[in-house]
Amino acid sequence: MIADLVIALVFIGYAISVLMGFGTILTWVERKQAAVMSDRIGANRAYIRIPGTKVKLVWWGLFHGMADGLKMLLKEDFKPRTYDWYAYAVAPWVVFTPVLLVFAVIPFGGALTPAKLWAPLAGFFGEKSWPMQIATLDAGILIVFAFSGLTIIGAMLAGWSSSNKFSLLGALRAGSQMISYELVLALTVLGLILIFGTVNLDTIVRMQSGTVLGFLPAWGIVYQPFAAILFLAAAIAENKRIPFDLPEAESELIAGYFTEYSAMKMGLFMFAEFIEIAIVGALFTTLFLGGYNLPFMTDAGFAFPGGGTVAMPHGAVVVTQLAVFLLKVFIVCSFQILIRWTLPRFRYDQVLTFAWKFMFPLALANLCVTAVAVWALRA
Amino acid sequence: MISDFLAHLDTLLLWAFAGCAFVSAALMLVLRQPMRVAMALVSCMVFLGGVYGLLGVHFIAAFQVLIYVGAVMVFMVYAIMLLDPRDEAASGGKYSKFFWPGLIGFALLAEALAVGYWNDLPHAPRGAAGEPFDITRFSAAFLSEYWLHFELTSVLLLAAVVAALAVIKENRRHDRG
């Protein structure tokens, strides 16, 4: 019982540090990648000087994240005189908390057996093994959608309670955009659920460690390449990032629904957005890229299509799985940032038309084709 | 000591969630400002989702939050957002004048119930009590036993929407005439 508690606390600590780490690193990646893409030096102003010397540590601008954090903490905490202070105060948290909670059902590694990692641990943990996931819930992906629905309410509350016309317009845009794209997002995932026959994310990852046609890794993206593209597009729109950042379009709405927020409250909105990039990355990795496993890899080691197998010690498997998961998530995050600096912003009517007249029918068609194919193959 | 606490953690959390759901439901009844009413209802739904989750039916918990908060309440908040918050008719006064009498009556009722039924309170089921209620069982039950109820509810909801439209049209005709 106490061993369960210790393991749960370790996993929760790991998840929070991973998310916070991604949130901080991605603010830097976004700037640095923009600089690289537009052939600038970029993000090199913040530095730490070693006291008493003239040595400045720039480290490719990595300290910009710290500078941002300090600025947000020390800035004046401006509060508008609004007709609902309660909604105004609670809105950043309604946006931020569900984003963190979503990670609870995402498996970030296979089974962990502490006794096999280091023999003396057996005294405390016994021979039991735990899946590396905070909550092993059978409802998996449904929980993800349930929580992401809460963020919509947060964005609308923030815009409404700010007593600012720009904020209200931003909130209206955020509300209708997120409702539309959440539908598309759920529809694209349905095809995958049909194929795997479960909504449990851990089982979905385990089912992706085999092969298709003898040589391809059985990843979701191989089964559902079309859904993968739609999912990523809808997820970026759900996260309100360029080219879908209409709710906070600077040239039209100042900062949209969080115009009236300053200091750390504004920081929470920004941080939630950056963590959500990582969450989208983690979800895409789990559903379409085989989760924490390398191709042909299971908890026991590698099993190549030719018939060759490589057994791995438990510690190596755990470290590989953790590292592979983080790497895949980072690649998907970097791809999202690539899109952000490549495409121009849509017009608002185009965003909604794109959702309802283009992506929604495509997602439905994908689902129908998948359903027929699954039915035909099983019959 | 710790393992004792952990053994009763489920029950403790269940009661905490149930209490919070109860308080939010009560707040929903007494608050006057539309957006706060909506927020109280949202938190009530979320806490109820927690209660379902602790009772081991994770699907119902997810659907509770997904459908009621993610779909229904989002639309309600959207509509309330477009109301004029300075409209006196919508917010007139912070609480209803029955707030205090209602609260006192409520406390008395709760106390009577608590005293009467304290020993019969249910406890959260621990561990694997029977088969888990997974998506296969849920889908089978939903599509074989409850499909008629579900379809009837959707027809009723449609009727309610049509009725609401009719009421609005009727009022508009009065305003013009």
Assigned token pair, A196: 């795997």
- pTM for this model (two decimals): 0.82
Contacts of B169 (CB under 8 A, 6+ apart): none
Answer whether A152 sits within 8 Å of B6, measured CB to CB: no
Residue B94, pLDDT > 50, answer yes
Query: Which ranges in chain A belong to alpha helices (H)?
Result: 2-37, 64-74, 85-102, 114-117, 122-125, 140-161, 165-196, 201-207, 220-223, 225-238, 250-253, 263-288, 314-340, 348-353, 360-378
Out of A231-240, A333-342, B87-96, B149-158, pick the least confident.
Answer: B87-96
pLDDT tens-place string over residues A260-315: 888 888 888 888 888 999 999 999 999 888 888 887 777 777 777 777 777 778 78
Chain B within 8 Å of A175 (Cβ-Cβ)? yes
Nearest chain B CA: its distance from A354 CA (Å): 21
ipTM of the complex: 0.82
Number of neighbours of residue A278 by Cβ within 10 angstroms: 25
Q: Name the pLDDT band for B133 (thresholds 50, 70, 90).
A: low
pLDDT attached to residue B93:
58
pLDDT tens-place string over residues A92-130: 898 888 888 888 888 888 888 877 777 777 777 777 778
pLDDT attached to residue B127:
46
Residue B86, pLDDT > 80, answer no
Chain B within 8 Å of A5 (Cβ-Cβ)? yes
Cis peptide bond N-terminal to B85, omega within 30: no
Strand pairing class (A211-212; A297-298) = unpaired
Q: Name the pLDDT band for A85 (thresholds 50, 70, 90).
A: confident
A chain contacts of residue B81, beta-carbon cutoff 8 Å: 156, 159-160, 168, 171-172, 175
Residues B95, A156: Cα–Cα separation, whole Å: 24
What single DSSP character describes residue B124? P
Question: Of B148, B144, B37, B51, which Cα lies nearest the Cα of B95?
Answer: B37
Residue A36, pLDDT > 60, answer yes
Answer whether A146 sits within 8 Å of B35, measured CB to CB: no
Chain A residue closest to B85 (CA)? A83
pLDDT tens-place string over residues A338-348: 998 888 888 88
Strand pairing class (A297-298; A301-303) = antiparallel
Out of A64-78, B70-84, B120-134, pick the least confident.
Answer: B120-134
pLDDT tens-place string over residues A186-215: 899 988 888 888 888 888 888 888 777 777
Q: Name the pLDDT band for A65 (thresholds 50, 70, 90).
A: confident
Chain A residue closest to B58 (CA)? A139
Answer whether A150 sits within 8 Å of B69, measured CB to CB: yes
Out of A43-52, A223-232, B121-130, B159-168, pick the least confident.
Answer: B121-130
Residues B9, A343: Cα–Cα separation, whole Å: 50
Higher pLDDT, A100 or B116: A100
Contacts of B26 (CB under 8 A, 6+ apart): B106
**Which of B66, B77, B135 is closest, CB to CB, to A145?**
B66
Angle at A344 between CA A338 and CA A349, to 5 degrees: 130
**Which of B7, B33, B78 is closest, CB to CB, to A175?**
B78
What single DSSP character describes residue A52? T
Tell me the residues of chain B between 76 and 115 that have a Cβ less than 8 Å away from chain A: 77-78, 80-82, 85-86
